Structure 1
Amino acid sequence: MQDVSRLTVDEDRIFSATHEEILNGETTDIYFVKTRDVLKSGSLLGTDVVAEVFTRKSGVFAGLSEMLFLLKDCGDIKVEALSEGDEFSSREVLVRISGPYGSFGMLETVYLGMLASSTAWATAARECVVAAQGKPVLCFGARHVHPAVAPAMERVAVRFGGCQAASCILGAKLAGMEPSGTVPHAAILIAGDTLKLARLYDQAMAPDEPRIVLVDTFKDETEESLRIAEALDGRLSGVRLDTPGERGGVTPELVRELRWRLDCAGFKEVSIIASGGITPERIKVLSEAGVDSFGVGSYISNPSPRDMTMDIKMIDGRPIAKRGRLPGLQENPRLKRVL
């Protein structure tokens, strides 16, 4: 607690924690610091315990690599866990930590937060990927979260959720790929005409860069798509529909008409990408209508939570638990030693 009292922060900064602040435990809850001091005063900080982590909803497990990075220098502890990307059931044990409580107890807030966020992102991404049935899903969620966590979110969506690409530069690089994306409506508005911007894009980008153009800025989406396809003369890879809700959004009827008109005009190779409020339910409907790939933002970045709970289940080899929980270790043969 004396260390906490001495800690000072400069408010002239970005308010997310630095890596050093996270590793130093400065983002943990204060009650774990108090717990450390109280147990130390009673010579109990080195008590040997086994703790288990679970969540009440099923999902896709992720966040373990960051947790292990946090714990790798925390002394003589043993960690068993599922593999990242594994699907799990409600209340299944995801992680088991064994060792002196003082070695890992104070950081509980930190690693549970890592697991909770990453698992929720991975689960939401996997739901979209499953709904798409093999069609590409791209993660466009960086703008919906704090930039400090955007790379972590998009990395997880690709690595463990199954998305084929990410737009956040750092997130894509952490996932081992190059970032994907075209240009926003802002570029088209500044150019004053979608076709003008499409030609500038075609001239400025490298030959291997796919020519994908937004077609809902100024004119009817089908009209705009046809004039761009004709002008780029075989170089147009795809058109992106991001029609706002004020105009009805991206509907199955719009997709069917666009696909029909492109095909009739001889542009069967031009793909249709849909973005804007995409969910697994909308993916299924739009896929049937003819959408070839999906850009998903807020459904992945702001998912249904997967709150993580850690319970001490053994103390000095004796089964124990708080009321409402079963004492002793819960069997899970899928757990593997990871630290």
Structure 2
Amino acid sequence: MDGSTPAGPSEAAISARTDAYFNRTRAIVRRFGDCRVTYAVFLRRPVVSAPRLAVEFLDSVARERGTRFEVEVLHPEGTWVGAGDPLLTITGSFAELADLETLYLQRLGPPCVAAHNAYQMCVELPEVAFLAMDARHCAGAEMADMMAYAASVGGAAARQEGAKGFIGNATDATAHWFGAPRGFGTMPHALIGYAGSTLRAAEMFHEAFPEEPLTVLVDYFGREVTDGLAVCRRFPDIAAAGRLAVRLDTHGGRFLEGLDPAESYAVLERHAPGAIRRYRSETELRHLVGTGVSAAALWRMREALDGAGFPRVRIVASSGFNVQKCRVMADAKAPIDVVGTGSFLPDLWSETYATADIVAYDGEARVKVGREFLLRKNGERKRNGSVRPG
């Protein structure tokens, strides 16, 4: 973070973007008398705690309204939270909190689920660095900021367990979440098409950005091995210095150059014979020896680079790297240096729905039938919790 204090949304924006019944509740409470309430906020599935954006939103609104919200973070950022276990409690004026529920829940649920997915991916491949390439899959800038934050939280949690985690992302606007001055990335497929050849695109990039490490997409013409080696031979000094990488992004409609089902099995038999014997589903089998960026494809690329005298050229893998694919790659000991992914985004958006229930009115415990577990949790203050007064 840059240390700046986020400005709160206008009252008109809050009113327009929250549910109408919350606005009406606020009006009723103002008319009949305010009270002090405590909300418990939770998700229905396990997550990694990523509360910062929601807490900052509450802080900013409290400042704008000249009031005070006591926010107790029950699970510090980056820690695991069980299903139904409150992440935080919010205490303050019911009249000032009633219309905020929609907006702080939007800032809490998706980051917590995405952080959990990012964490799982990183711990499956602890020796691999991850890049968050999710921006173009997000529904606007606000979501992109939430997802970058989530990837940074999940990656940091994985680093606590010895993984490399997420080292950066694709856009300058959200690079600060990873402590980076700008986004990562060299070239899209469009530049290869513009250049007319993979080698020429690499030459153009190096001429324009001579001090930058060079990562070259090699699947545009379906000649991953041929074009990858051509780039290495054109830039032997960069390759020898470890500043050259080939990025495999082969789509699922074809095999990497030189592979077919039989050859894919042969490649894995040479490098990870146990993996092919342990597969448990058709999806896992496809990740191992199927089309696209499979474990066999990665091993074949590594064989070609090493055999041609380029052992320091790195391999960047992208295309559908979710938790399951990372797990399969780990089992096959696939030679990946960096994974570019946006698959930490929740597959099922319904899993991101955070919920808030009032559990106390003017100090008297009260909650709707079926949510009594929140009363128990609310009464058990976590020893690792922290209070954030707004």
| TM norm structure 2 | 0.77
The alignment partner of 1:338 has SS state of strand
Contact 1:124-1:303 at 8 Å conserved across structures: no
Residue 76 of structure 1 deviates from its aligned partner by: 2.6
In 1, are the aligned partners of 2:29 and 2:94 still within 8 Å (CA)? no
Q: Aligned partners of 1:225 and 1:267: how far apart in 2? A: 11
Return the offset for 1:152: 2.8
- Aligned residue among 236, 244, 248 for 1:241: 248
Deviation at 1:312, TM superposition (A): 1.0
- Deviations along 1:276-315, one digit per CA (max 9) or x if unpaired, are 1111221233351212210112x22344423211111111
Equivalent-residue separation in structure 2 for 1:243 and 1:21 (angstroms): 49
Q: Report the equivalent of 2:365.
A: 319
Q: Does 1:77 align with 2:121?
A: no
The superposition leaves residues 311-335 of structure 1 with CA deviations (integer Å, 9 ceiling, x where unpaired) of: 1111122111111121733414132
d(CA) in 1 for partners of 2:45, 2:364: 28
Preserved CA contact (<8 Å) 1:144 1:302 = no
Moved more, 186-195 or 53-62: 53-62
For residues 379 and 354 of structure 2, what CA distance do their matches in structure 1 show? 16
The answer to whether residue 47 in structure 2 is matched with residue 59 in structure 1 is yes
Deviation string for 1:181-202 (max 9, x for gaps)? Answer: 1110000001110001111111
* One-letter identity of the residue aligned with 2:49: F
- The change in CA–CA distance for 1:121 and 1:21 in structure 2 (over 3 A counts) is farther
Q: Which amino acid aligns with 1:67?
A: V
State the shift of 1:176 in Å: 3.0
Give the match for residue 123 of structure 1: 116
Report the structure, 1 or 2, having the larger helix content.
2
- Structure 2 spans left out of the alignment, 5+ residues: 1-7, 157-165, 255-290
Task: Tell me, in whole angstroms, the C-alpha distance in 2 between the residues paired with 1:323 and 1:161.
Answer: 38
Which residue of 128, 146, 157 maps to 2:151?
157
- Separation (CA, whole Å) in 2 of partners of 1:78 and 1:264: 62
Please report how far the alpha carbon of residue 20 of structure 1 lies from its aligned counterpart in structure 2 after TM superposition: 4.4
- 1:257 aligned onto 2:303: no
Q: Does 1:168 align with 2:171?
A: yes
Instruction: Note if 1:296 corresponds to 2:341.
Output: yes
Query: 1:61, 1:87 within 8 Å by CA — same for their partners in 2?
Result: yes
Please list the CA deviations of residues 2-23 of structure 1 after superposition, one character each: whole Å capped at 9, or x if unmatched: xxxxxxxxxxxxxxxx954786
Give runs of aligned pairs for residues 69-218 of structure 1, distance below 5 A.
Answer: 69-71=57-59, 72-73=62-63, 74=65, 75-81=67-73, 82-148=75-141, 149-162=143-156, 163-177=166-180, 178-207=182-211, 209-218=212-221
Cα deviation 1:108-139 (Å, max 9, x = unaligned): 00001100121122122112111121310111
> Any gaps of 5 or more consecutive residues in structure 1?
1-17
Shift of 1:212: 0.5
- Report the secondary structure of 2:42's partner residue: strand
CA distance in 1, matches of 2:340, 2:78: 21
2: CA distance between counterparts of 1:306 and 1:97?
20
Root mean square deviation of aligned Cα: 2.0
In the superposition, relative to structure 1, how do residues 114 and 22 fare at CA in structure 2: closer, same or farther (>3 Å)? Answer: farther
Cα distance between partner residues in 2 of 1:166 and 1:61: 20
CA distance in 2, matches of 1:286, 1:139: 18
CA contact (8 A) 1:212 1:239 kept: yes
Cα pair 1:153 1:171 within 8 Å, conserved: no
CA 1:335–1:281 in 2, change beyond 3 Å: closer, same or farther? same
In 2, are the aligned partners of 1:132 and 1:284 still within 8 Å (CA)?
yes
Asked if structure 2 preserves the Cα contact closer than 8 Å seen for 1:120 and 1:303, the reply is no
Distance in 2, Cα, partners of 1:273 & 1:319 = 54
Cα distance per residue 1:154-177 (max 9 Å; x no partner): 133124444211002211135431
What amino acid is the match of 1:233?
Answer: P
SS in 2 for 1:337: strand
CA distance in 2, matches of 1:22, 1:39: 19
Equivalent residues of 2:247, 2:315 under 8 A apart: yes
